[in-house]
Amino acid sequence: MLDKKEKFVILYLLEVCQNKRSYLILAEQIAEFVSKKYLISLSELDDIMISLAKDNYIDFVVSDSKNGYYYCITLKNKALTLKKDMQKQKKEFWFAILKTFGFAVLSFVVGIILRAIFKS
């Protein structure tokens, strides 16, 4: 399961890499985007990228240049289906909530009917 920062990073990478399987991006660009919501350093970003690679979301190679270092990122199928999986999780969560609420209402109604039957 991804934590909040990892999820934010992978969603950003999906947005940036839209129709490309591989993409070259400056590490500071990712850190700058993520720092809008979370405080993150480049070393923490490296840890997140390694974690995403271990979880089989991406493959990446680090390349140094004069401007900083770049990630050459290749998205895997697990990353490409992440948004659909998240939507499916939300849908299942709300279905479980509605089902629980429905059973509670049904139990209440059955209780009232049984109370009315056995009071007479």
CATH class, domain 4-80, is: mainly alpha
Q: Where are the domains of the chain?
A: 4-80, 82-120
**Which comes out higher in pLDDT, residue 12 or 120?**
12
Contact of 20 with 74, CB cutoff 8 Å: no
Structure pTM? Answer: 0.74
Contact of 58 with 49, CB cutoff 8 Å: yes
The C-alpha atoms of residue 14 and residue 27 are separated, in whole angstroms, by: 15
Enter the tokens of residue 104.
């509670």
| pLDDT tens-digit series, residues 38-88 | 888 888 988 999 999 999 988 989 888 887 888 999 988 888 888 888 899
Rg (CA), the chain: 23
pLDDT of residue 103: 97
